[in-house]
Amino acid sequence: AVLLSCLVVALAATLGRTMANVKAALTDKPDIAVFLLLKDENVSSSVLLRSTEDQRDYLVETNDGPKLVKLKKGEKEWFVASKERMHE
């Protein structure tokens, strides 16, 4: 019973830490947020093109080809403001 309790506590702590890391990525680290926000796009790489206080523009390589992605900083976290497919 003690071993099971320790296992439950360890799993809860790991899950809590993982959620904290995801939240930090969306709020503080837009370079990681671009991968999390576009998880359905299968992003293989991203290049920062331009950065301002509240906006970051990336050239993102996806399975569908390159895309221009603009992230904007909201009140609490970054979000995808636009994405455009680029011609090769």
Predicted TM-score (pTM) of the model is: 0.66
pLDDT digits (tens, 9 = 90+) for 14-72: 776 666 555 544 455 667 788 888 888 888 888 999 989 889 999 999 988 999 999 99
C-alpha to C-alpha distance for 77 and 71, rounded to whole angstroms: 10
Give the residue from 63, 56, 50 showing the smallest Cα distance to 34: 56
- Helix, strand, or coil (residue 12): helix
